[in-house]
Amino acid sequence: MYALHDAFESLRVFLETGGIVLVLIAINIFGMWTLIFERIWFFQVRYRKDKAHTLALWDSRRERRSWPAQQIRTALISKSREALNDRLSLIQTLIAICPLLGLLGTVTGMIDVFGTMANFGTGNARNMAAGVSKATIPTMAGMVGALSGLFAITYLKRFAQRESELVEDRLTTDH
């Protein structure tokens, strides 16, 4: 129980050190990873059922070469591709916001440093160090969040592209 309390206390001190911008970065990263895990769950559970249904629907057709059949094939492929790519652009946006929030943290931290220098001169090293810490921690957190998200979105986009191509190949016009 004490370990959990110590962990939360350490997290609270870390968030206070980085300022309000670090809290915004944490919220952004939490939302980004929530969507990433939702997509992974979708690919592993829900999409398999949707893909099986799409393939079964196409396989149950007798005629596949006419113009209406080709339109149905195109619609099935499009629906599958849309489901695969859903929320990926939102995840990419959240990834792009991470370094921008980090930069905002840098600016607010440096404003604190300059405010300390204006009030106390360069003689108050402790307050200046606190401002520099407030400037660098959000920058680092924004970059770490963006990099972790980039690895995840690359995997998700590749999986979506590969699955989309597999569905398109499986919906053949031969019959």
User: What does the pLDDT look like over 7-26, one tens digit per residue?
Assistant: 888 888 877 777 889 999 99
> Between 170 and 158, where is the model more confident?
158
What is the C-alpha end-to-end distance of the chain, expressed in Å?
Answer: 65
Task: Read off the DSSP letter of residue 171.
Answer: S
Between CA 52 and CA 58 the distance in angstroms is: 10
Distances (CA, A) of 74 to 5, 62, 173: 55, 17, 11
Which residue, 172, 163, 152, is CA-closest to 81? 163
Q: Is the pLDDT of residue 148 over 70?
A: yes
Given a cut of 60, whether residue 175 has pLDDT beyond it is: no
Contact 106, 138 (CB under 8 A): yes
Summarize the confidence of residues 25-37 as an average pLDDT: 96
pLDDT bin (cut points 50, 70, 90) of residue 84 is: very high
